[in-house]
Chain A
């Protein structure tokens, strides 16, 4: 029995746990890839607050996540509820919402740069046709919101599938009983749908948070500038840049550990909340 599990277990132990411990180990050294690592204690961690490039990427990632996580959950839940009905051609709608999930972020990101383009972009063409002033969608004031919108759009499909599965598992009887008792549509949502969906919502919250902190592809494509840099560097971008371009693997590993710690804490908070609120009242 164990022999059959061995390949997977080995992969887990060496691949996953091995690289986690290696990253923690590297984060306690000064290592430039090319010369032997020098033990550095926790200095890579204590130096992080003074690293302005890192702090900027941390602030960007936190701001992004604060918008992206709730929006993705609310929008994909709303879409799933809209899709949860017997309607001719509903399959086509579901495919349309799921399409971004299976498309290449690089190709789709480039399409969005067209939509957001300042002078010849689709969005500004519509706004100016209606008499408005063109907006600098990817400029410093709007970039965060524009980037969040694209990422939410890209995540609706995945969230919709989870919520749709959750919705279809709710017995029809619940709604009929609620109707007989005179519950309004809002009350049916609040007291039937949401409690029944709680496990899906928590699962989706964990997943979306992890994705938010690791977000990179759309953001980089939409905000990149010459020299391989970005006007909105994220944590993942900072880790890559610090390690592979600045020869500072120890600092990059410390940043990666901080990123993991944030995700770990957020997940723990969700589990705690699920225990408190997830139980039937």
Chain B
């Protein structure tokens, strides 16, 4: 009883130490389909017990990478190691990883309990133990009452739970999930996200989760690996990738962001100053190729005032073009004097007098709330 609660944090602690002996290490993974490179040199360490999300638009290579982890697709180049052992050529049935497929891939000719019992039966577990484990697992995903039903009699959310139960019942070290929530409606999806998180916490299993939904990735993950065009764009905690995107793709893929092209960058006392449409803008210093760059600022980090705020480092004059009421937040579209559109996201009720279309305002933000991104990419 006493170590039940510490199981999850142990897993995370082990995850922290993964630098020394990576649990799973992908090195230089490539996958070619004829002339196209679905994956182009992916190197990524996965820590034991973490919830890692592979995020990217469709065709970015995230699912291909998951399939290579599972062993269903073989890499054209590169290697895969588990605790130092080369498993690049190990067939899927010998990897002992659980997998939840898009569309669930349940066995339609079996009952719910037979579906969940399948991996145990394959492992030669005797009937009594099997039954206990299956029923514990079904109870955990809230399907104890549906054990004898056929899978076709269940709703989408219930089928999803069967798929999860079946993938976790044999206590795999790794659970691979390929867009498991994409078929569910919004409410159910949010509920399942919470369940996934708690299942992951309790089961001490490494989750590798594929999605194209950035909000889902931010909610669920310990770390997010962002894919685009077969390349790994950035890996980091949700906060890292959202607050400190390394390039334009990551910045624009996660949430919304305003990009101001700036030129003539100069570094000075830990900050960099550049010119945007004749106005000097300041951001934290960053190693960049000389020349032009983008200054990026999230809509929620902008402030709106009637007059230029006293002492503001970054301030631009703009006019409100459109204000959309969204309950808790108000979304504004503004234009700078020279016509560059700017998105702004304010808490509802703040500065209500200013957010009428046509009104001239000042936009300002702290230098620490913005960052510089390289021009290309």
Are A and B co-members of a single complex? no
